[in-house]
Amino acid sequence: MKYTVIIPAAGMGSRMHMNYNKVFIRLGDTPVIRMTVEKFEKDPDCEAIHLAGRKGEIDILWGMLEGCAKVKGIHEGGRERQHSIHNVLKAMEPTGYVFVHDGARPFVSQATLDGLKASVALHQAAICGVKPKDTLKRISGDAVEETIDRTSVIAVHTPQAFEYDLLMQAYRHAAENDLSVTDDSMMVEALGKRVHVTASTYDNIKITTEEDLKVAESIVKKGSE
């Protein structure tokens, strides 16, 4: 199963409190965005990589990704993650399957990619995640309303994998209905389509806040799953 991956990298990284985009942070010698892209350079089933970058950072991204032969385009991002991805979807060639993967998740495993490929080929829409390790409660202000059955929830990661036509339809529908989402699956769910779930790894963190950098450095040191 061959696919194209869209990697949004056009955020501000504001929760990282640095004065530059967090995907440019180096872990060892390598920028986060290059580590992420290399995961897909190495997967023989990934045919093309398209990124979203902030206006003014597109040349920096091309520089950081020098020699990454599958990178076919770096497109201008938008106000929110979903607008960045929609811009890429509109700019790239139609294809069979599309993965969407955060530029800030450099530790996705090959097994996670393989699981998603198998699932999306069967179900048209597949996401990955991990079981929560903590007890989960629904709250109102500082009061507990209920304890959630944690066997019925997952913490969702990327990549998320879709048939191209389905994802295009979902993004068009979201734009027309002004839907605000935090992942791509929410748009497909809004069409009434069933989305399947496969396993991710606890290493597949999204680098979001300063403490994530310490975790990321320790994953680099030990090697990711």
Ligand X SMILES: Nc1ccn([C@@H]2O[C@H](COP(=O)(O)OP(=O)(O)OP(=O)(O)O)[C@@H](O)[C@H]2O)c(=O)n1
For ligand X, the binding residues (CB under 6 A) are: 8-15, 22-23, 52, 77-81, 84, 102-104, 206, 208
Residue 14: contacted member of ligand A1H0Z, ligand X, none (CB under 5 to 8 Å, by partner type): ligand X
- Is position 218 an interface residue for ligand A1H0Z (rule: CB under 6 A)? no
Residue 183 engages ligand A1H0Z in binding (rule: CB under 6 A): yes
Shortest Å, Cβ 158 to ligand X: 8
d(CA 1, CA 3): 7
My answer on whether omega of the bond before 159 falls inside 30° of 0, hence cis, is: yes
First vs last Cα of the chain: how many Å apart? 23
- If we measure between CA atoms, which residue out of 14, 165, 180, 177 comes closest to residue 82? 180
Segment lying near ligand A1H0Z (by CB under 6 A), choices 36-44, 61-69, 156-164, 191-199: 156-164
Minimum Å distance from CB 57 to ligand X? 10
Task: In whole angstroms, give the CA distance from residue 11 to residue 13.
Answer: 6
- Name which of 73 and 78 has its Cβ closer to ligand X: 78
For the bound state, the minimum distance from the C-beta of residue 7 to ligand X, rounded and expressed in Å, comes to 7
- Residue at token pair 């960045």: 84
Integer-rounded Cα Rg, in Å, for the chain is: 17
Least distance between ligand A1H0Z and beta carbon 200 (Å): 10
- The answer to whether the CB of 36 falls within 8 A of the CB of 7 is yes
Interface residues toward ligand A1H0Z, by CB under 6 A? 81, 102, 156-158, 182-183, 206, 208
